[in-house]
Structure 1
């Protein structure tokens, strides 16, 4: 049992060095709207409190129709999803790939469930910018959203 645990520990420690990136640079979604989302900055108040900082440019889009194309990151298991995160990078991106850490993700609240996919999806909805603690909830979301099929 101890040998198995030791072997697993060594494998997990070496895994980042053994595995190559799971995506191509061309997989990253870049658009004007993702540029707006990437302008959201964060201020850490304590280890458990991280709040968004929205500048004037970002605030102009609050409570307005907004569209994003990206990858579904499920929040719960199952084929049908009506609440998930949308990322500009694929779900199989490793933590050490990309530019400057993990990209900001947007919470999507769909008006009806859709099938999960690893392909990109286009989502339209109302952009909501809240001053929620990011350590607890997502401050950027698309409400009453639908997939653009």
Structure 2
């Protein structure tokens, strides 16, 4: 719970900064692989859990090598990041003010830390799907990822 609170504070701080910047819808990344990730829907259960509903499309890629180009969204402070979110929109775009909506995001776990960049990065690793409450942790992860140039 503390991690989610910290992530919320980090994103909220960036929202305040982002509101000074003009929105650019051309920054949103689109690809067939992002469409696969975007095919996951979510269901709120009676126990107040947000569980993923994995489509057959995304299930085909479970435990297989998968690559994505996206924007690095840090979940911890520091110039080097080993575990972070990858999104279709840059962090300077306001996710919560209704201008661009909440972008598709997944967790990335790198083999070794990579430097933070505001430009899109391309990663490749093993796609993992987990049936867990998305309120606390992303159910889709690319593990053992490597930076692709």
The structure having more radius of gyration, on CA atoms, is: 1
Runs of 4+ in 1 over 3 A off after TM superposition: 19-23
Alpha-carbon deviation of 1:92?
1.2
Aligned length: 131
Q: Does 1:38 find its partner at 2:69?
A: no
* CA shift in 2, pair 1:22/1:47, >3 Å: farther
* CA shift in 2, pair 1:22/1:51, >3 Å: farther
CA contact (8 A) 1:22 1:92 kept: no
Alpha-carbon deviation of 1:46?
4.6
Counterpart position of 1:7: none
Alpha-carbon deviation of 1:26?
1.4
Q: Does 1:87 find its partner at 2:118?
A: no
CA offset digits 1:102-127 (Å, max 9, x no partner) = 12211000000011011100010111
Aligned to 2:45, what secondary structure does the other structure show?
strand
Counterpart position of 1:55: 55
The 2-side partners of 1:78 and 1:48 are apart by 33
The 2-side partners of 1:109 and 1:34 are apart by 17
Counterpart position of 1:97: 99
Counterpart position of 2:128: 128
CA contact (8 A) 1:23 1:90 kept: no
Counterpart position of 1:29: 29
CA RMSD of aligned residues (A): 1.9
TM-score by length of 1: 0.82
CA offset digits 1:36-78 (Å, max 9, x no partner) = 0010000011574100001111100111110100000000000
TM-score by length of 2: 0.82
